[in-house]
Amino acid sequence: MSEIAKITLDGETHELPVIVGSENEKAIDISKLRGKTGYVTIDPGFKNTGSTTSAITFLNGEDGILRYRGYPIEQLAEKASFLEVAYLLIYGDLPKKAELDAFENEITRHTMVHEDMKTLLRAFPAGAHPMGVAASLIVSLSTFYPESQDPNRDKEAVDLSIVRLLAKLPTIAAWSHKFSERHPVIYPKNKYNYVENFLNMMFELPTEEYKVDPIVAKALNTLLILHADHEQNCSTSTVRVVGSSQANLYASVGAGISALWGPLHGGANQAVIEMLEAIRKDGGDIDKWIAKAKDKEDPFRLMGFGHRVYKNFDPRATIIKKAADDVLKALGINDPVLDIAKQIEEIALKDEYFVKRGLYPNVDFYSGIIYRAIGIPTEMFTVMFAIGRLPGWIAQWKEMLEDKSPIGRPRQIYTGSAVRNYVEIENR
Ligand code: CMC
């Protein structure tokens, strides 16, 4: 028999349905509570609120489990290609060989961006943060493809927007970097796969051919897979809420990029490297910085530590830590900030403050060290996260649309002034 929850309000008991997920997670369905009782629930930051059911990603923060469409992240990170994972997330199953070939082919054919985009790029100041540029340009794609503006139009139009987004974000990302440095852009080349093509657009110079290092390409492929989805996080929830108003996919993803930018979310990868550098320049006194992070009067937080849902360990961080070691060794790089990162981790994992609060290194703690080792400039780190997260945003937007989700519109409890009469300005 299915469970029900009971709630007693104003002396009356009401029954609420219980929803059970395929991994036995349980939720009390309060969607009709206000209609029945006049009460809403309140949960700032949605710490205990499920905003949707979803069949895309399963995450168990207590046991450190992450699966895309049922497949463990460890297996995908080791064996799959990023576009294979993108297909899996968006269309629900691992592609057969012919399906993957067709998907990759379609994406390869759409990697160029409209030449007028360069006019937009030129308008940004030198040194413009690439996240600001990427968010703007992704939204602007909707103006180049007006047929995308009605997301309910037809399945083919949506599929085309999906392909265009996946194909063009790496080009936009690499071009935003080149423009910010006032260097000429490098066009996409069809001879490369997705990851190689991005690396080539980032690093080739008109004066010098760039040779893609397979170690670098493999490391980047792994990082992108690890970031590809993470169920209802801040940016994904943003994409869903914006999309729930039936805004088009480009507009919804643009909003997701903006949400990702903050240092408490995707911007943490840039903040981690800046923090590690600051610690190094300050003389490397780890205890001093750990004490700062614990001091409630000090706004400093240990960036790359803690997570809303992982309270034991972040399985992505485990994979990334090993990948960072492997990549640095393979490339023969000795990065002093890796040593500082390892020392911080060792001390924090034994410190009561961090243990008691379940604060562990998250995905961003070591990712920046790999990006740095493969030559990605610090300001581009969060853009790399965006390229990785794009399939997840798309899959969640598509699911939201197919499920005919209602518009996202939370309630509130008003705490302002009671009604009062307007006072003429001279009498205030
Ligand atoms: N350093 C020091 N103290 C911390 C940290 C930290 N990095 N993170 C959390 N705490 C403390 C916090 O002060 C609070 O202590 P108390 O209970 O005494 O008030 C307690 O731990 C719980 O923290 P919270 O802020 O209530 O937790 P949250 O779930 O709202 O926030 C978080 C999660 C990720 C925003 C937070 O842990 C944080 O700011 N971490 C640093 C930024 C970071 O690395 N973000 C990347 C997250 S992973 C990438 C992604 O998926 O977005």
Which domains does the chain possess? 4-50 (2.20.28), 92-229+236-261+386-402 (1.10.580.10), 268-373 (1.10.230.10)
Q: Name the β-bridge partners of 305.
A: 361
Residue 150 pLDDT more than 70? yes
Active site residues per annotation = 307, 364
Gap from CA of 308 to ligand 1 centroid (Å): 7
Cα separation of 294 and 302, whole Å? 9
Order across the sheet with 4-9: list the strands. Answer: 4-9, 12-20, 26-28
Residue 167 pLDDT more than 60? yes
For atom 32 of ligand 1, the residue with the nearest CA is: 307
What is the pTM assigned to this prediction?
0.95
Q: How many H-runs (helices) and E-runs (strands) does the chain carry?
A: 18, 6
Q: How confident is the model over 160-168, as a mean pLDDT?
A: 97
What's the pLDDT at 390?
A: 98
Among 67, 49, 55, 52, CA closest to 22: 55
pLDDT band for position 2 (50/70/90)? confident
300 secondary structure, DSSP code:
-
For atom 16 of ligand 1, the residue with the nearest CA is: 357
Gap from CA of 82 to ligand 1 centroid (Å): 29
What's the pLDDT at 262?
A: 96
Gap from CA of 203 to ligand 1 centroid (Å): 35
Residue 1 pLDDT more than 70? no
pLDDT in tens, 99-136: 999 999 999 999 999 999 999 999 999 889 999 999 99
Residues with CB under 6 A from ligand 1: 45, 230, 233, 264-266, 268, 293, 301-308, 357, 359, 362-364
Residue 288 pLDDT more than 70? yes
Is the model more confident about 345 or about 394? Answer: 394
- Ligand 1 pocket: which of 260, 344, 357, 365 to mutate (most atoms <8 Å of CB)? 357
Tokens 């990162």 appear where? 341
The secondary structure of 109-139, three-state, reads CCCCCCCCHHHHHHHCCCCCCHHHHHHHHHH
Answer whether 50's CB lies under 8 Å from 27's CB.
yes
Gap from CA of 426 to ligand 1 centroid (Å): 48
CB count within 10 Å of CB 32 equals: 11
For atom 15 of ligand 1, the residue with the nearest CA is: 357
Residue 20 pLDDT more than 70? yes
Mean of per-residue pLDDT scores for the chain: 94
What's the pLDDT at 148?
A: 82
What's the pLDDT at 4?
A: 95
Residue 152 pLDDT more than 80? no
Gap from CA of 351 to ligand 1 centroid (Å): 16
- Ligand 1 pocket: which of 260, 362, 385 to mutate (most atoms <8 Å of CB)? 362
pLDDT in tens, 290-303: 999 999 999 999 99
For atom 31 of ligand 1, the residue with the nearest CA is: 308
Measured between alpha carbons, how far apart are the two ends of the chain, in Å?
Answer: 63
